[in-house]
Amino acid sequence: MRTWWGALAALVVVRVAISLAVYAAEGSSLPDVPPFVRPAADGGLQGDATGFYEGSREFMAAWARMPRALLAADAAFVLAAAVAATLAWRRRAAWRPWLVPCACLAIALVLATDIHWMRATGAAVIGWPIVWSLPMLPLRALGSLDPAGAWDVGTALSLVFVGTTVVAVACLGRNATRSPRLGLLAAAFWATWPLLVGVIAGHTAWMNDQWFIDVGLHNYDEPLSTLLVTAGAAVLLAPRLTPMRLAFGGCVLSYATSVKLSNALVAGVTLAILLLRIGRRRALLYVAGVVSFAPVVLAYWPLSYPTLFANRKAWPHDPFDVGHFVSSWTHSSIFDPHTLAIVVPLAAIGAFALKGPWETAVVLAFLLINPLFYSFFANTAEHPRFLYASLPEMFTLWAAAVGLLVTQERVGPVLARARHSDPG
Confidence (pLDDT) at 408: 66
Rounded to an integer, what distance in angstroms lies between the CA atom of residue 119 and that of residue 121?
6
Q: Is the pTM of this model over 0.85?
A: yes
Confidence (pLDDT) at 40: 57
Residue 120's closest CA among 34, 179, 19, 51? 51
Q: Which residues of 12-35 are buried (b: 16+ CB within 10 A; e: fewer)?
A: bebbbebbeebbeeeeeeeeebbe
Q: Determine how many CB atoms are found less than 10 A away from the CB of residue 148.
A: 15
Residue type, 161: F
- Give yes or no for a contact between 160 and 254, defined as CB atoms under 8 angstroms apart: no
Q: Where are the domains of the chain?
A: 2-421
Confidence (pLDDT) at 424: 44
Rounded to an integer, what distance in angstroms lies between the CA atom of residue 295 and that of residue 106?
10
Confidence (pLDDT) at 345: 95
User: DSSP label at 351?
Assistant: T
Confidence (pLDDT) at 306: 86
Rounded to an integer, what distance in angstroms lies between the CA atom of residue 89 and that of residue 87?
5
- How confident is the prediction along the chain (424 residues), in pLDDT tens digits per residue? 778 999 999 999 999 999 999 988 876 677 778 888 775 545 567 888 989 999 999 999 999 999 999 999 999 999 999 999 999 888 888 889 999 999 999 999 999 999 999 999 889 999 999 999 999 988 887 877 788 888 889 999 999 999 999 999 999 999 999 999 999 999 999 999 999 999 999 888 888 889 999 999 999 999 999 999 999 999 999 989 999 999 999 999 999 999 999 999 999 999 999 999 999 999 999 999 999 999 999 999 999 988 887 776 667 788 898 989 999 999 999 999 999 999 999 999 999 999 889 999 999 999 999 999 999 999 999 999 999 999 999 999 999 999 998 876 554 453 344 455 454 4
Confidence (pLDDT) at 420: 53
Rounded to an integer, what distance in angstroms lies between the CA atom of residue 144 and that of residue 141?
8
Confidence (pLDDT) at 46: 82
Confidence (pLDDT) at 411: 43
Rounded to an integer, what distance in angstroms lies between the CA atom of residue 252 and that of residue 244?
12
Residue 350's closest CA among 272, 389, 267, 407? 407
- Give yes or no for a contact between 48 and 125, defined as CB atoms under 8 angstroms apart: no
User: DSSP label at 317?
Assistant: S
Q: Could you tell me where the DSSP H helices lie in 237-356?
A: 243-259, 263-290, 294-300, 324-330, 337-350
